[in-house]
Structures are given as C-alpha cells and as structure tokens.
Amino acid sequence: MRAAPPPSGGRRPLPRRPLLGVALAGAAAACAQAQTAEPRGNPALNPPPGLWQIARERGLTFGSAVQANLLNSDPFYAAAYEREAGVLVPEYEAKFAALQPEEGKFEFGGFEAIIRWGQNRARTTRGHALVWHNAMPDWARAAIGESAQRARGVMEAHITRVLGQTRNTIRDWDVVNEAVANPPGSDVPQATGEMRDTPWLRALGPGYVETAFRIARERDPTLRLTLNDYGVEEDTPAATEKRRRLLALVRGLIRARVPLDAVGLQAHLQIDKPFSAPVFAEFVRALRAEGLAVLVTELDLREGSTIAAEYPERDRLVAERTYAFTSTAIEAGVRTFLTWGLIDKYSWTVTDTGVARQGGTHHRGVPLDWEYNRKQMWRALARAFRGERPDPDGWFR
C-alpha cells in the first residue's frame, strides 16, 4: 500500500534544536530550509539508541505496526524499523483475509516475511488479529452467516491452523479485536447494545468472545491471549461508557474463568478530545486488578479539525499529549507500547481518507516525520520512557 504524495504544508519537520526565543515565523522558515537539507532518515538526526532500546533500559517494550511490502521495498523504511522497533505487528498480514483468502487455503507469505525479518534482528513479532469483523474475506462472512455451527467451525479452523503455524515464533496474539460497541456520542456510534454488531456476534451471540479465547488456549496453552479495543482512553462521555462496557466484558470473562491474559488499548488518540490522567490511570488499574496485563497496542494521534495551530506548534501539541498519555500509562503499570506505524507518510491517519486531515495538511501522529526523521513525538516517547520531564517551556527538543 503506497501513500499519496505529501499534501503541501504538512511535511515541514521541526529543526532538531530550534533556538529558544526564535519567533515562530522564523522557526517555520528554518523548518522549510531544513527540510530540503535533510535526507531521509538522516543518521545525524537519528542516532542510537532507538526507542526500543530506550524503553528497554526502563524495563519497557516498544514496537510498531509494520507493512511487509515496505520492509522489503523501501530501505529507509526498513532502516527506521531496525532503529526504533523492538516488536513488530503486521498491520495487515496476519488478519483473516490475508491469512485465509479462500476457505482452507492459508497464505503466510507476508506474515512470515515480517517474522523472519524480525528474527534476523532479534526482534519479536506479535499477532493481530484472529477474530475481528474487518479484513474478513467474503467467503468467511457468508459462511459465518449460514449457521452457528458453521461459524464456530470457521473460527476453530482458522485459529487452529494459524496458531499451529506461529507456535514457535509468536507468543502474543490479539485473539479478539474490537468486541465492544461504540456508545452514543462516539465518532461512529452503534445503537446495538453493549457488544459490537458483527458477523461473529450475530452467529454465535456474545459468547463468541469466550469461545475464541478457549479455542486459542487449547491450541497453544502458553500463548499470551489479548482482548484488544479502542475508544477508551479519553475523558469524554462516550469513552467513559465504553470503558464501563469493556470492563464489564472483561470481568464477565474472568468470572467465567475464560483464559484471558491481557487487554490491549489501541490508543488512537485525538488531541481535540480531553484526556484525564487520573481517569485513564484508574481504568488501567481496574483492568490490572483483574490480574491482567495492559498493553498500549496501536498508539497514534490525530489532531482534529479544531486544532488551528501551525508548525511547529502542532508537533508540540501532539508531543504533549503523547507524553501525558504515555507517562500516565507507565505510572499505572503499562509495560508495552506499540505505535500504529512509525512514519507519517505510511500512517493510516494519512492514507485512510475516512480519518485523514482536511485542508492540505496531514496528521503528524507517529514518531517519525515524512522524511523518516525523529520529531517531537519521538522525543516525548523517549522522555516518558526515561522518566524525564519536557523542557521547562513545554517543548520536546
């Protein structure tokens, strides 16, 4: 999947160390100049250690979603992942449609390419996602719709084959993704009750979640089994309700002794929505109190239409929210941080027209800019991982 060329105005990186007191207009001019001078993934701007090494120093794990075709075709992309990511998550290659495009015909090529690339560099790969309502081939949707028995058979066959394949290489899988319905007030609300209306829910009822986890545990008893969801990080009424729903689902599973080991919080954050550190920390602690690990699985930020700031202030706002969120999560006991991509150019927040920024600029919500160079968000993560503060004036230089 190739991204469109950068929209004008969206690609000016912040100079690495702008002088204090330089007026914004001057800084913007310097940025424009710096951009033409900076090569992709400029080694001078991206010296070791990378984020995964900085995280490791503090007993944390850092990684990112990755695209196999880009690892293979773009040496700057591969170099950025080699520098920064300790864990790889296939952005598409381990989804149902990629692995089983036809019933019974499994294709592991892209997925295995990522696993091998990681193994050659002593990095691990995490699986995403066994049971989801998106990235499903037509045949599976149709089959699941036939009967409960057929749906259960499709689920069992898929999980069995895939976990058999990755038993020796992957120890951490998102078993069920996005099971909770979006409450009223969400960006995309669903008026269907607490569980998301999916082919799996329709065929098997709410028990499909339990079924998937039980099959996964049976097939690979020492695998870490994760329930992954989004829309629970911010301090809005919709997020409050979604937290309640997710917690209720989790507690129900635990009470029923369903083999659940971890909850993944995707963290596709939007900085025009409020974030409350105490509210989010309390939620993480409530999940951990159930005996679960809590992972941040898909961190990225969108700026929303109400953010009118220009560069480099926009980058500062993204970094500020990244820092607040990440340091709160660390404090509350999260040990794994994965971003959903590393480089703006290839982020779904840029390539997916449903969420892309309007008006000629693009979101800058992953750690590296259009030229594969570190920006303030990278430094916000590094500082949060190290337990360091922002600069006294709130910047991340």
**Residues contributing to the site for ligand 9MR (CB under 6 A):** 91-92, 95, 134-135, 177, 266, 298, 348
Distance, in Å, from the CA atom of 56 to the CA atom of 72, rounded to the nearest integer, reads 26
How near is the Cβ of 297 to ligand 9MR at its closest, in Å? 8
Pairing of strands 124-125, 127-131: unpaired
**Are 266 and 228 contacting, i.e. CB atoms less than 8 angstroms apart?**
yes
Minimum distance from residue 100 beta carbon to ligand 9MR (Å): 14
What is the rounded end-to-end Cα distance, in angstroms, of the chain? 32
- Closer to ligand 9MR at the Cβ: 38 or 300? 300
Give the dihedral sign, CA 171/233/291/86. positive
CB 135 to ligand 9MR: min, Å = 4
The DSSP bridge partners found for residue 66 are 90
> Among residues 177 and 322, whose Cβ is nearest to ligand 9MR?
177
Positive or negative, the Cα torsion across 146, 103, 180, 223?
positive
Give the CA distances from residue 22 to residues 12, 17, 26, in Å, rounded to whole numbers and listed in that order: 17, 11, 6
Of 298 and 315, the one with the shorter C-beta distance to ligand 9MR is 298
Q: Which is nearer to ligand 9MR, 177 or 182 (CB)?
A: 177
Provide the minimum distance between the beta carbon of 59 and ligand 9MR in the complex, in angstroms, as a whole number. Answer: 26
State in angstroms the smallest separation of the CB of 338 from ligand 9MR: 11
User: CB-hemisphere CA count at 13 Å for 282?
Assistant: 10
Q: How far is the CB of 28 from ligand 9MR (least distance, A)?
A: 30
Q: How far is the CB of 34 from ligand 9MR (least distance, A)?
A: 29
How many alpha carbons lie under 13 Å from residue 193 in its C-beta half-sphere? 10
Nearer to ligand 9MR, 34 or 175 (CB): 175
Q: Which residue is nearest to ligand 9MR (CB)?
A: 348
Q: Provide the 10 A C-beta neighbour count for residue 186.
A: 17
Q: Which is nearer to ligand 9MR, 64 or 361 (CB)?
A: 64
The one-character DSSP state at 346 is G
C-alpha distances (whole Å) from 170 to each of 87, 91, 167, 218, 317 are 11, 15, 6, 16, 36
How many other β-carbons are positioned within 10 Å of the β-carbon of residue 188?
A: 7
In the complex, the smallest distance separating the C-beta of residue 39 from ligand 9MR, rounded to whole angstroms, is 27
Instruction: Give the distance, in angstroms, between the CA of residue 201 and the centroid of all CA atoms in the same chain.
Output: 24
Nearer to ligand 9MR, 253 or 338 (CB): 338
CA dist., res. 370 & res. 239, Å (int): 31
Nearest distance from C-beta of residue 14 to ligand 9MR, angstroms: 25
Q: Return the closest-CA partner of residue 79 out of 375, 384, 323, 368.
A: 368
Contact 96, 158 (CB under 8 A): yes
Toward ligand 9MR, which CB reaches closer, 168 or 353?
A: 353
Measured from the CB atom, the residue of 92 and 106 that comes closer to ligand 9MR is: 92
